């Protein structure tokens, strides 16, 4: 179990800076998720921690000990690769035992550990099979088992669910969380899927273009996104972001409608963020905005209505019982305490 620190870590490849001055602290036993779009630097960050890449600048500390330049095998961390990276010419048992054999762990100890982990992951019947004889989910569990058996200080997981089908993904997500609890280990998890991030992480580090945008608990990220990027990235469907002109102090103009802001601002223009579920449907005299319905998506438990408010695209979450039709006009109430305000030039949150 270990704490991890990134101090001013920068990584540049020829012509491209993948990670820019990253400062991040991960607590012992924490489930930290690095999330962001492709190319944001999250995998590179993970690989730097693993020791597969060296930072151009900055320090990596594991348990407050600097590990720059220390080879991967001496860092006592285990990694689960996106493609599992199982050794094709070895059985599942050998795959899991391999790391231990390399570390000269005695044979009976290896057998015990592998058997225990295999039971934990439901692999006991599959130990003599080779990777090509295993299904995707089984391979993934062997890859996990290979990491667990090493009893490392920290687990690094690089998009482990991305190669699984949707149903298996949901199942495995839950199993991983259970695993984290039972192992009580530090997990560092990379994904581009914000749903995975929100459901699994104790804290989430949102990255974009090499920068760390915000690191916070899922709830904080959702309720108080500090930048435009985080606001639009977290939450599905995305938060509605509308550019609006500021009228006297705490009011903005969205299309032809007036909306109150939660705080006064000094800018001339702001970007107003409202989550789809923040709107309430109301009659035209109560409503702040009027939306012309375009598309309705019924998901059974939810309903999403896409439409236009004076030319601005807006999506609203409604009760699935509400019947709306294309072309219809519905009134939307905007509770001002649910409004997020951003500066259009810096992208930073103002409230």
| Interaction site with other proteins (CB under 8 A) | 50-52, 71-73, 77-79, 81-83, 85-89, 98-99, 102-103, 130-132, 146
Distance separating alpha carbons of residues 115 and 137, to the nearest angstrom:
19
**Given the complex with other proteins, which of 29 and 72 has the nearer CB atom?**
72
Structure tokens at 244: 């609006």
**Given the complex with other proteins, which of 75 and 275 has the nearer CB atom?**
75
Q: How far is the CB of 138 from other proteins (least distance, A)?
A: 12
**Given the complex with other proteins, which of 164 and 254 has the nearer CB atom?**
164
Q: How far is the CB of 185 from other proteins (least distance, A)?
A: 16
Structure tokens at 215: 């690191």
Q: How far is the CB of 105 from other proteins (least distance, A)?
A: 11
**Given the complex with other proteins, which of 4 and 259 has the nearer CB atom?**
4
E strand or H helix that includes residue 283: none
**Given the complex with other proteins, which of 131 and 273 has the nearer CB atom?**
131
Q: How far is the CB of 162 from other proteins (least distance, A)?
A: 14
Do 247 and 302 touch, CB atoms closer than 8 A? no
Tell me which residue has tokens 């030039």: 345
**Given the complex with other proteins, which of 16 and 323 has the nearer CB atom?**
16
Phi, psi of 266 (to 5 degrees): -95, -15
In three-state secondary structure terms, 191 is strand
**Given the complex with other proteins, which of 85 and 179 has the nearer CB atom?**
85
Distances (CA, A) of 111 to 21, 153, 218, 224: 44, 21, 39, 49
Structure tokens at 338: 């649910």
Q: How far is the CB of 252 from other proteins (least distance, A)?
A: 50
Residue of 196, 288, 273, 272 lying closest to 239 (CA atoms): 273
Q: How far is the CB of 43 from other proteins (least distance, A)?
A: 12
Q: How far is the CB of 132 from other proteins (least distance, A)?
A: 3
Q: How far is the CB of 331 from other proteins (least distance, A)?
A: 54
Which residues, in sequence order, are CB contacts of 208 under 8 Å at separation 6+? 36, 37, 40, 229, 233
Q: How far is the CB of 89 from other proteins (least distance, A)?
A: 4
Distance separating alpha carbons of residues 343 and 213, to the nearest angstrom:
15
**Given the complex with other proteins, which of 102 and 174 has the nearer CB atom?**
102
**Given the complex with other proteins, which of 93 and 304 has the nearer CB atom?**
93
Farthest CA pair distance, the chain:
78
Q: How far is the CB of 172 from other proteins (least distance, A)?
A: 19
Do 156 and 50 touch, CB atoms closer than 8 A? yes
The number of C-alpha atoms within 13 Å of 227 and in the hemisphere containing its C-beta is 16
Continuous H helices in the chain: 42-50, 92-102, 107-121, 136-148, 166-183, 194-200, 218-223, 228-233
β partners of residue 57? 10
Residue of 156, 153, 172 lying closest to 164 (CA atoms): 172
Tell me which residue has tokens 């601005």: 312
């Amino acid at each position: 179990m270990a704490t991890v620190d990134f101090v001013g870590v920068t990584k540049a490849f020829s012509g491209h800076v993948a990670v820019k001055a990253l400062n991040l602290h991960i607590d012992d036993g924490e489930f930290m998720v690095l999330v962001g779009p492709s190319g944001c630097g999250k995998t590179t960050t993970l690989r730097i921690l693993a020791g597969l890449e060296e930072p151009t600048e900055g320090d990596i500390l594991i348990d407050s000990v600097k590990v720059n330049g220390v080879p991967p095998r001496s860092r006592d961390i285990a990694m689960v690769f996106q493609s599992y990276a199982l050794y094709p010419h070895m059985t599942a048992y050998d795959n899991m035992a391999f790391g231990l054999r390399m570390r000269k762990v005695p044979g009976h100890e290896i057998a015990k550990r592998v058997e225990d982990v295999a039971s934990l992951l439901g692999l006991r019947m599959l130990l003599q099979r080779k990777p090509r004889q295993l299904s995707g989910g089984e391979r993934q569990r062997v890859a996990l088992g290979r990491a667990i058996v090493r009893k490392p200080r920290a687990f690094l997981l690089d998009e482990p669910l991305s190669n699984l089908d949707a149903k298996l993904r949901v199942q495995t997500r839950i199993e991983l969380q259970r695993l984290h609890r039972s192992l009580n280990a530090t997990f560092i998890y990379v994904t581009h899927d914000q749903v995975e991030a929100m459901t699994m992480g104790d804290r989430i580090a949102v990255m974009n273009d090499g920068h760390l945008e915000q690191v916070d608990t899922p709830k904080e990220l959702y309720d108080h996104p500090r930048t435009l990027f985080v606001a639009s990235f977290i939450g599905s469907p995305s938060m509605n972001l509308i550019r609006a002109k500021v009228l006297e102090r705490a009011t903005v103009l969205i299309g032809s409608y007036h909306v109150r802001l939660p705080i006064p601002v000094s800018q001339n223009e702001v970007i107003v963020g409202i989550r789809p579920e923040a709107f309430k449907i109301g009659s035209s005299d109560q409503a702040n905005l009027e939306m012309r319905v375009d598309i309705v998506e019924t998901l059974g438990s939810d309903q999403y209505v896409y439409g236009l408010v004076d030319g601005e695209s807006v999506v609203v979450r409604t009760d699935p019982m509400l019947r709306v039709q294309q072309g219809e006009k519905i009134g939307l109430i905007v509770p001002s305490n649910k409004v997020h305000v951003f500066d259009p030039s810096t992208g930073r949150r103002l409230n």
